[in-house]
Structure 1
Amino acid sequence: MDESQIQQVRSFNRAVTQRIGVLSDDYLSRGRPLGESRLLFEIGRSGADLRDLRARLSLDSGYLSRMLRSLEAQGLVGSQRAAEDGRVRRAVLTRKGLREFDALDRHSQDFATSLLASLGATQRERMIAAMAEVERLMRASAVIIEPADPASADARACFEAYFRELEERFETGFDPARTVSADPEELVPPAGLFLLAQLDGRAVGCGALKVKGRGLGEIKRMWVAPDARGLGIAQRLLDALEKHAVRMGLDTLQLDTNRALKEAHALYTRNGYREIPRYNDNPYADHWFEKRGLKRGVESD
């Protein structure tokens, strides 16, 4: 890692935390620190389940409980059992909490306005563009890609969303029973591997390997949730699958894809996959690809 890049990140963090008032216990002049104010925003007018708050804010249970107790002591927050599941606790704003939410919202709006007002028109455009880019890249850096159980609830949710999208995009629709198999038992070592991409505790993508023979594997179930596209997740999934393939003794990967999936076609082409003749009887495939020499590629990284 480039040391100058690391130092720039640290400098950026210091500048931002100072400018937006994170170091104060009086965030937005409302008499409480940023953490509690942010928690009020996240609970919002509709309330929020505690488990969702933990995942959304990346908080451990103890710290979240302490902040909630503080807000409860201030008369801003109450808790109740979720209507659909009595085992789940839900945080809700009291009437006083709703008034405080509105006040925080006004103060936050005023602060954002003041931040932009001191800049010229060109500088404002540059700042907004830079903020949007940083936000996107920060989201991308929060994505975690790890091996997972292909029979898990998260995996099943990804498969179902993937199949629904193929049904919508393919000219002839899509029936998973008619395509080449990639069943859970085929996607666990040594037969294969399944990777899950998660963002803020939510599954947002997946990819799998299926071992076909000595040194040969096949890529299956590559999918990224529409609202997580543009974060480079598909590229990271492909890179990770190739590295795992080498560890599993594979040196060649194959795959097939439909002509409607132009993004997939572009992804594989720019990563060195070349089009080859048909190698299976998948009725939904229009293109077949192959990449050889994976071991050489990984060793040169």
Structure 2
Amino acid sequence: MSDHREVAVLRWPGRTPAIDDGLAALLAAYHLRTEAEKGEPVACVDELPDRYRAEITDPRTAFADDVVLVALLGDTAVGCLVVNSLTDGQSEIKRLWTDPEFRGRGIASALLGSALAHAAEQGATVRLSVWEWRTGAIALYERLGFAVTQSWDERVQLVCMQRTV
């Protein structure tokens, strides 16, 4: 069965309190999956590093200075993305995640489109980092005009990309 409902992208926090739980669940799935892919799997959120656990348990505080976008299909939160504001006219995209059950429906593209529109309003260059094994994400970023750039992060296997909006 195919779901053809349109994806709605909302800025969080907003007027829809139900998004809070959905955002926490998306962030938990993102961090648990990432730790597993890095070869450091943990069984539950309580075992994540403090900085990641803080995002899940109190996203309002963790992302107080950021723009958080949540993709909805109906009333279900199915994807998220965080845009950090940096200095010198730059923004950084973090935490792009689509619930695996809903992938292939343009959710990540919709989130990125909203993030890029926000950055364009600010006149900002957009950067991001992505693990090299996330080849699908890298291909999506390249389709949207991001290019690999010199790394600003010393973690091995992290690809840094940038796009001028």
TM range (shorter): 0.7 to 0.9
Helix, strand or coil at the partner of 1:152:
helix
Once the two structures are TM-superposed, the CA of residue 230 in structure 1 deviates from its matched residue by: 0.6
Within 5 Å, which residues of 2 pair with 1:1-301? Answer: 135-136=2-3, 138-139=4-5, 141=6, 143-149=7-13, 152-173=20-41, 175-177=48-50, 184-185=60-61, 187-188=63-64, 191-247=65-121, 249-281=122-154, 283=155, 285-292=157-164, 294=165
Structure with the largest fraction of helix: 1
Cα distance in 1 for partners of 2:96, 2:49 equals 14
Checking the alignment, whether the CA contact within 8 Å between 1:256 and 1:285 is kept in structure 2 is no
TM-score normalised per structure 2: 0.79
Checking the alignment, whether the CA contact within 8 Å between 1:163 and 1:176 is kept in structure 2 is no
Q: Deviations over 1:149-207 (max 9, x none)?
A: 2993222111101112212323344855478x97644634xx32000111121111000
Cα distance in 1 for partners of 2:32, 2:74 equals 23
Helix, strand or coil at the partner of 1:289:
strand
Structure with the largest fraction of strand: 2
Aligned AA (1:158): L
Aligned AA (2:86): K
Helix, strand or coil at the partner of 1:237:
helix
Cα distance in 2 for partners of 1:228, 1:244 equals 24
Given the superposition, is the C-alpha separation of residues 271 and 200 from structure 1 closer, same or farther in structure 2, using an over 3 Å criterion? Answer: same
Once the two structures are TM-superposed, the CA of residue 288 in structure 1 deviates from its matched residue by: 0.4
Determine what percentage of the aligned residue pairs are the same residue. Answer: 26
Checking the alignment, whether the CA contact within 8 Å between 1:170 and 1:260 is kept in structure 2 is no
Which of 1 and 2 has greater Rg? Answer: 1
Quick one: higher RCO (CA 8 Å, sep 6+), 1 or 2?
2
Cα distance in 1 for partners of 2:38, 2:161 equals 19
Given the superposition, is the C-alpha separation of residues 236 and 176 from structure 1 closer, same or farther in structure 2, using an over 3 Å criterion? Answer: farther
What count of residue pairs does the alignment treat as equivalent?
A: 152
Aligned AA (1:252): T
Once the two structures are TM-superposed, the CA of residue 251 in structure 1 deviates from its matched residue by: 2.1
Structure 1: runs of 5 or more not aligned: 1-131, 295-301
Cα distance in 2 for partners of 1:173, 1:275 equals 28
Checking the alignment, whether the CA contact within 8 Å between 2:67 and 2:84 is kept in structure 1 is yes
Helix, strand or coil at the partner of 1:213:
coil
Checking the alignment, whether the CA contact within 8 Å between 1:198 and 1:204 is kept in structure 2 is yes
Cα distance in 2 for partners of 1:263, 1:209 equals 20
Cα distance in 2 for partners of 1:222, 1:145 equals 13
Given the superposition, is the C-alpha separation of residues 237 and 195 from structure 1 closer, same or farther in structure 2, using an over 3 Å criterion? Answer: same
TM-score normalised per structure 1: 0.46
RMSD between superposed Cα atoms in Å: 2.6
Structure 2: runs of 5 or more not aligned: 43-47
Aligned AA (1:154): G
* Higher mean displacement: 164-173 or 220-229: 164-173
Cα distance in 1 for partners of 2:149, 2:51 equals 22
